[in-house]
Copies of this chain bind each other. A is one copy, B any other.
């Protein structure tokens, strides 16, 4: 294996040899800031996934190291994220009770399966597949998922149990009907947490800056909102024993020590049941991860290798599955924090992992009194960023078909569930694209004045010959649009019996597939039966190469392939078919 290839497969070889003190300082600071953010987030997302809080912390150790060794992004921060946690919750909700041993085993298996799928796709170089999720579909999916996630936290914010449902209306109806059961202390803790989080999110940085603090440090402090909320509310619960006096639900015992080694339960029946969900988790996770990685890499003119990313994320998930974790991916806000805090290499992630490991070994007793309402507030504030009205507004102005697939995905997720929703959205966006290309724009053209230019007869004052119909097709020709093409052309010819020649102008045709080729041959024959000769003009080089391979020109009979529309018009205007026969190529 060449050194270059080895470096691509193990990107750590690229940066480690030249690693110096300056880089270590930068990476250490970034690693610390991400760790401060990740401890509460990790626990919160585990809660969202229906898992014990320590699982979120376990998923923030080994996966980060594995990604650090294999990932092609310098600044991606891997770990639990909101949408993947929601998908884990909805998947496992069908198989086991949240909190049960079977549920945890399911989460571990999901991590293993997603990891295996990502690795497999990486080795098969299938990274491109993820491109088939369009931006509007992702936007509709994210917005709907954010709503589902937000409302799923209502029970923790209000302090009474609400049955899990993917229907927000059901959740709200139930909550309204049982509003008398609200735990006022829990609700107050949630409100205080929101206040702290929102203050840190938008107020703290400007205030610190106005006090003369450097912008970098001010921004870094602003990221500590979740930590501050955790400390303040935990101390409050501990001081007043709110868990006993006011029945505030707390995190309670978190086992101390490094993550246990876990072996995924490779039960074939269970694998078969979880596989579709694992594939979707892998796809959505990869998509989120690779888009943030790309966005950060380009800021420093670095490259992201999608297939290497698949392998690195696959390894990270396998890592999660053998250390008691659950599916992970590169998170958007966390990676941005890592990047802006100065991370220059994946060493930052490795430092984050070391700090989280230290936390689970030493500090879990401090988290005993942490109220679940605080974690729920952290989730709600985090996912609020996912609600994306801008893309919808944009799509409504720009393209109705895109807006339709966004709204359809949004509604499908809210009414039918997360997994089905995104599948419907993806399928719909492909159907809309095919529909669009299946009805190509076609324009009859004529000569502008005495020039060699030919333009749409509907838009310009042009000269045409009643015996020669010239049509420009603005799309590559393939199976889904050949029938449309044929119908349109035959209808135009049927309507005008005086036509002797039909010239297809192919300047916008980038390829012709076998179905379209056959249609062109049939079209030539049908036109000939009707006394019309088919010609082509302005065929692109690569398209012509293929046509020549199958001797297409011969199937045109008396028809010819002209270099330019001008040449076609000059040769055919006023010429009879029998004369054309003499000049056949």
Residues in chain A within 8 A of chain B (CB atoms): 128, 130-137, 294-295, 298-303, 306, 391, 394-395, 397-399, 401-403, 429-430, 433-441, 474-476, 478-484, 486-487, 490-491, 493-494, 497, 508, 510-511, 513-515, 517-519, 522, 526-527, 529-530, 542, 546, 549-550
Contacts and interface: CB of A to CB of B under 8 A. Distances in A.
Most-contacted residue by chain B among A398, A486, A514 (CB, 10 A):
A514
Contact of A134 (B399, B484, B490, B513): B513
Contacts of A497: 301
Contacts of A514: 134-136, 391, 394-395, 398-399, 402-403
Given A301-B530, A303-B494, A131 B482 contact: yes
Contact of A131 (B133, B430, B438): B438
A434 B526 CA distance: 30
A225 to B, nearest CB: 27
A33 B515 CA distance: 33
B135 A510 contact: no
B515 A546 contact: no
A289 B527 CA distance: 20
Given A298-B530, A438-B131, A526-B299, A475 B510 contact: yes
B479 A397 contact: no
A358 to B, nearest CB: 35
Nearest to A532: B301
Contacts of A440: 510
B479 A132 contact: yes
Contacts of A494: 301-303
A220 to B, nearest CB: 21
A299 B435 CA distance: 29
A550 B394 contact: yes
Contacts of A530: 298-301
Nearest to A433: B478
A474 B519 CA distance: 23
B490 A436 contact: no
A434 B441 contact: no
A487 B304 CA distance: 8
B429 A529 contact: no
